[in-house]
Structure 1
Amino acid sequence: MQLLVNIDVADLADAVRFYGAAFGLAPVRRFGDDGVELGGMQTPVFLLRKPQGSAAAADSERDYARHWTPIHCDVVVDDLDAALVRAIAAGAVQEGVTREAAWGRIVQVADPFGHGWCLLQFHGRGYDEIATA
């Protein structure tokens, strides 16, 4: 089984620039004017051009204003402070303060297309610091 991450965006060129500048991802292959596969993470990321207001799931329309979803992606980084500066410079918006936990540090950001992301920096054994039997 393989996991693919598909991200709907209103402007493909802007999204390629953002994800390259924010997370260091680079185009691997293109699918005409409507899609780009990005490499640079363990999981392939596909940017899919879907116009604002186009049909989405369950009789809804795409809206690229900031939105919440119970599924989001975490980007694990070596230096959270540097990654946050890079993401903000690329166009991300920081949402809340950086928080400390037994396993590491976390900060939430939103990309220019309304999608939420978390930047994580693990300490020690990462999530194993809080794992239970």
Structure 2
Amino acid sequence: MRLLLNIDVDDLAGAERFYCAAFGLTPARRLGSEVLELAGAEVPVFLLCNAAGSAAVGDTRRDYRRHWTPLHCDVVVEDVEAALDRARAAGARQEGEIRSAAYGRIVQLADPYGHGWCLIQFQGRGYDEIAAPPAPAAE
């Protein structure tokens, strides 16, 4: 399986500036005037320019105000404070304080297009810190 991350935005130039400044991505290639591929993540990131109010899925319309969806993106960072400063300077809104969890430290953000993001600084074994210990080997 190959995973692609497609992010709907209503301002391609503004989105390019934001995602490059906030997360250190770089422009890879343009696909026409409405799509920009960004490099620098472990999966390709495509910015798709679609006007607010344009048809989305079924009878829904795109809305770039802050919205919640059960799918969001996590960006693993070395230093959560530095990454948060960079994202906020680029235009992200911090949603809550940096908090600690068994796997590390996390903070939630909203990008200028209403999408939710988390910055995660793993500590110890990362998510493995919350995994069940392996079952003992059979004798």
Scaled to the shorter chain, the TM-score interval is over 0.9
Matched, 1:57 2:50: no
**Which residue of structure 1 lines up, in the alignment, with residue 29 of structure 2?**
29
**Which residue of structure 1 lines up, in the alignment, with residue 81 of structure 2?**
81
SS class of match (1:74): strand
Question: Where does structure 1 lack aligned partners over 5 or more consecutive residues?
Answer: none
Matched, 1:123 2:126: no
- Cα distance between partner residues in 2 of 1:4 and 1:33: 19
- Cα distance between partner residues in 2 of 1:44 and 1:94: 25
- Cα distance between partner residues in 2 of 1:129 and 1:71: 23
**Which residue of structure 2 lines up, in the alignment, with residue 7 of structure 1?**
7
Tell which structure's C-alpha radius of gyration is larger: 2
TM-fit CA distance, 1:35: 0.3
SS class of match (1:109): strand
TM-fit CA distance, 1:38: 0.3
Q: Which amino acid aligns with 2:69?
A: T
SS class of match (1:17): helix
TM-fit CA distance, 1:58: 2.2
* RMSD (Å) for aligned C-alpha atoms: 0.6
Q: Which amino acid aligns with 2:13?
A: A
SS class of match (1:28): strand
Divergent runs of 4+, >3 A = none
- Cα distance between partner residues in 1 of 2:121 and 2:61: 35
- Cα distance between partner residues in 2 of 1:131 and 1:51: 42
SS class of match (1:61): coil
Instruction: Summarize deviations over 1:32-54 as a string: whole Å, max 9, x none.
Output: 11000000010110000000100
**Which residue of structure 1 lines up, in the alignment, with residue 43 of structure 2?**
43
Instruction: Summarize deviations over 1:68-116 as a string: whole Å, max 9, x none.
Output: 0000000000000000000000000000111101110000000000000
SS class of match (2:2): coil
- Cα distance between partner residues in 2 of 1:129 and 1:68: 27
